[in-house]
Structure 1
């Protein structure tokens, strides 16, 4: 029967080969030669992933030396063809319009029974070992996996999605195109919100909006560093930067207007704003931390969606890769004495969230 299937495959008569394999399965389904023929059938149909799985399973399940030898040859043939296909597809991706732009590849969190197949997909696409894939696959937050050209990044993202590994991608230019306004104070909430803010040039203006204009919102804690004196291993004094506190930033995304309103607890001007929830005045004495917490609770009651709060995990994965990105204004004003990469990481995260949601909404329309 194996010779008949081989002859049919050699003559490119795939329908006849499939019929012979079906008859063979009914008679001796455990025959290792049948498994070998099935691998060769998938190979002839250019379904290389199925062929590779079939050959690999055969290597693990049979002791027939002749079958093993041909299965090993099959695995090598499939690997060579997959490598050539990957090289061809990557080369084609690099030739697409805009392929040279800098882009970012993000993994979404995966939990439960989905982690194992998702990690396997990540290993195959990125050509890394299974253990490394498991460590890189997040379970609670987005992870910035890779920075590279847009052509390659889109290719990897599409391959990961096809494997069932949730991934997203966006270019740095897409993030840059999102206008970010730094909110100084909220002056009114009824009948519309009236917000005093600064644009990227530091010019002050007013934006009016409704609660329904807010399509999603992001909350993140950014570390505040201060120079402190400590003792080194030899008992000598030395200076180092240490986290002394955290500042909180809230981004309100307005997809209908293509912009973000950014509030920061360190620079929000409570004395120029109305209390939230609305009241005649702030409690005396005005405690900024208490007023900020009350305002955040008020936002949660009025905004339809829950806040996105997984920034810190993303930020840790992004710190080492930010240096590979072209420079961009982060629009985070924390009153720092020195710049911090965490500010850039937050701007990047919020911008990615904005772009991904916008692209998702666009694909549904």
Structure 2
């Protein structure tokens, strides 16, 4: 009867094959070849998930080389179909207007107890092994996963979301359209706030806003690098670039105006405008900064604080292709350009756009 099943498949008489397989399942349900034919029947019927399950089961049930080869060929056919459908779907998505724009796909943190299942789903969707998938999925903060055409990112993003893997995607052009104003000092606090600031052309002006317009506060530290002389393992003197200290940054988001107010510790004029800090001229910059941020906390008690920049930055620093697309809007004196500046602009912009 097994020969009859094979003959029915060869002449594509699937109705006869189905009847014969039904009988064989009653007589010898554990026969690996019968199970293989069942998987093949599912495959030609378009029930690909069921077919894949049966083929994988056959691989565990037998050591027969011929049956193993047939099951592997079945799995390969299913994978080829899946890849073809994926490529067609991506091509269709990219063909949509504006979907050829450059964008980024960002993975959100996922709890440890959900990570095993999520890694399996992520591996299947992205075509990688589960071990690598588990290493990629973040546990603490956002992780930029891919830079590419927006249509392709949307395709993968929707699949990931359907598999309960939290993520989002944005256009690079959206990031570049956000205006960033460099705050020099506050001149008024109530009933509305007014800041003296410079725009992106370094023109000095003022901006008045209601505190309720602020939707997020983003804090981050940017390293200060210095050339130092160190002793190496051979007791020889050598010059190295080391982190000596950090600049403190605080971004206030005003999405209704599509702008960010950027404040940093060495750039704020503590002696000008509104007296926020008493005896500012006698304090260190660190004390003045701490007092300023405490004052902002009082003005914005319900505004969410985002402070995961450092771990986020560490995961994106090597992505020079992406960071080269980002204008940092950070005007620090540096002997050499550092990706940390663009990484902070990226982090703050993602918070702004999410």
TM-score category of the 2 structures, normalised to the smaller one? 0.7 to 0.9
- In structure 1, the partner of 2:286 is 289
Whether the 8 Å CA contact 1:212–1:303 is kept in 2: the answer is no
Root mean square deviation of aligned Cα? 3.7
Partner of 1:339: 337
For 2:69 and 2:171, the matched residues in 1 are separated by: 47
> Which residue is equivalent to 1:196?
196
CA shift, 1:65, in A, is: 7.9
1:10-159, aligned counterparts within 5 Å?
39=39, 43=43, 46=46, 48-49=48-49, 51-61=51-61, 71-159=71-159
Quote the Cα distance in structure 1 between the aligned partners of 2:53 and 2:275: 63
Q: Which one is further off, 175-184 or 106-115?
A: 106-115
Aligned to 1:211: 211
Secondary structure at the counterpart of residue 245 of structure 1: strand
Are the aligned partners of 1:184 and 1:196 in contact in 2 as well (CA < 8 Å)?
yes
- Secondary structure, aligned partner of 1:268: coil
Distance 2:324 2:224 in 1: 24
Question: How far apart, in 1, do the equivalents of 2:290 and 2:84 lie?
Answer: 56
Q: Which one has the largest radius of gyration?
A: 2
Residue 320 of structure 2: aligned partner:
322
Q: Which deviations, in whole Å up to 9, do the C-alpha atoms of 1:133-164 show, x marking residues without a partner?
A: 11111111111122222232222222222332
The separation in 1 between residues aligned to 2:139 and 2:83, in whole angstroms, is: 30
Tell me, yes or no, if structure 1 residue 264 matches structure 2 residue 261: no
CA separation of 1:78/1:189 partners in 2, compared to 1, >3 Å: closer, same or farther? same
Q: Distance in 2 between matches of 1:275 and 1:26?
A: 88
Question: Structure 1: where are the runs of 5+ without partners?
Answer: 357-365
Change (3 A) 1:273 1:240: farther
| CA deviation profile, 1:78-132 (whole Å, cap 9, x unmatched) | 1111121122122223322223322212111112221112212222222222221
Q: 2:251 aligned with 1:251, yes or no?
A: yes
Could you say if the C-alpha distance between residues 220 and 283 of structure 1 is closer, same or farther in structure 2, counting changes exceeding 3 Å?
Answer: closer
**Unmatched tracts of structure 2, length 5 or more:** none
Q: List per-residue Cα deviations over 1:203-260 (Å, max 9, x = no partner).
A: 1121112221111121111111011111234433222210001111111111111111
Match of 1:304 in 2: 302
- Please report the TM-score for the alignment, with normalisation by the length of structure 2: 0.83
Contact 2:271/2:280 (8 A) holds in 1: no
Count matched residues: 352
* CA distance in 2: counterparts of 1:251 and 1:226, whole angstroms: 25
TM-score, structure 1 as length reference: 0.81
Residue 37 of structure 1, CA deviation:
7.2
Matched, 1:352 2:339: no
Q: CA deviation at 1:40?
A: 5.1
